Amino acid sequence: MKFSSTLSAALAASPALAAPTSSAASSTKVVYANSGHIYLASYDGTKFTTTVNSSFRNTDPSWLAYVAPNSLYAVNDIASNTFLYNIDVNGNAIKQVTNKQGSGGVVHLEVNKANTRMLGAGYGSGKIDVWNIENGGLTLIKSIQSTGPLGPNPDRQDAPHPHQTVNDPTGRFFVANDLGTDSILVIDSQNDAFNIVNRFPVVPAGAGPRHGVFFPFGAAQATHYFLLCEMGNVVIAYKVTYTDDGRGMTFETIQVLNTFGPNTVAPAGAGAGELVLSPDNKDLYLSNRLTGQATDNIAHVKIIDNGAGNLRLLWINSVSSGGTGPRMFSISNDGSSLFVTNQDGALGVTAISRKADDGSLDTNFHGTISSGAFGQSGQGPQYIKQIQ
């Protein structure tokens, strides 16, 4: 889905860089993608240097999953096949290996901790695909149908719409955020069963759960789960408890936070996009789309630990994303930068610097790629991630 807006004259006149040349060298490698293209680039802290632009007809790789050393999996947002590519970071090459039929409208891929199984969330089909990816392969094991009562919005919640699956820190469980049924599904992968063992309703009804993240990063088990809801424009904080009764885990709501800040009404038609946890477990970042402003924004939320596992979320501020429609963004491995993609607007890609001491975001961009590098309006990238 493509988004567009009219940019202010001030932003249009800002120094947006053209598509980078191949003059810079960096050990930080990122992949990014828009409809029909997958790119490889280096980032040196001040600019992106694109080294590969691979064109693949009749594909919409709106989400990718990299498995070292050279496997790159991709959804096809406009069809029902999932792709496997070979990516040579040092040789600057991306080549298609195979593609296999799965469920339609898959919009997210999640690889388990062992790099042996991958789940694809089929927003369009209401199904969750389970793939065997051992030894760089791609074989469909099963498809799980999401069922349950639908949410109250007949236009957006006309059917189950799983938007993302997330592997928990133990590696055993996945949770699926289903926008259509306003629910979190718990999937148990033990013995390759991949059965739905629990369903937790999201309140408020009509919130439309989209993306989530387990907390804390790097732990053996999760203590909390943070859920971003697209339709309600809220972040919901849950306390997570693992159970021995076959339900896998349960969720206790502890806070609901507006993505635009406290005591603020979200703009009509706004839709939250992505949620990211910093590697030091101190900050959450989220994207606000369809704001009606010249540019959309990335919001900063501080995680306050009051002791004994009592957490509170504090909305800090927001900064421009550089364009509109930031469907997805990610954080660098060292937590120093946010890599942001915009589907429309002046800048297709931006790098936002993050301060280590307080997690604040620099309002100046530290690397950009102009939207002109991606062709016509609305064709900006939808995915970006560091892979090395």
- In percent, how much of the chain has pLDDT > 90? 90
Taken in order of first residue, the domains within the chain and their CATH numbers are 65-82+96-386 (2.130.10.10)
Q: What are 228-282's pLDDT values in tens digits?
A: 999 999 999 999 999 999 999 999 999 999 999 998 999 999 999 999 999 999 9
Q: What is residue 2's predicted lDDT score, i.e. its pLDDT? A: 36
Instruction: Report, as an integer, the average pLDDT of 1-28.
Output: 37
Reported as a single tens digit per residue, the pLDDT across 109-131 is: 999 999 999 999 999 999 999 99
Residue 313's pLDDT band (cuts 50, 70, 90): very high
Calculate mean pLDDT across residues 290-313. 94
Q: Identify the three-state secondary structure at position 372.
A: helix
Q: How far apart are CA 159 and CA 232, in angstroms?
A: 18
CA 349 to the chain's CA centroid: 15
Report yes or no on whether pTM surpasses 0.85. yes
Encode pLDDT of 322-367 as tens digits. Answer: 999 999 999 999 999 999 999 999 999 999 999 999 999 999 999 9
DSSP class of residue 343 equals: S
Whether the predicted pLDDT of 26 surpasses 90 = no
The confidence score (pLDDT) of residue 228 equals 98
Phi-psi region of 248 (alpha: psi -120 to 50; beta: other; left: phi over 0): left
Reference 328, options 177, 164, 168; nearest CA is 164
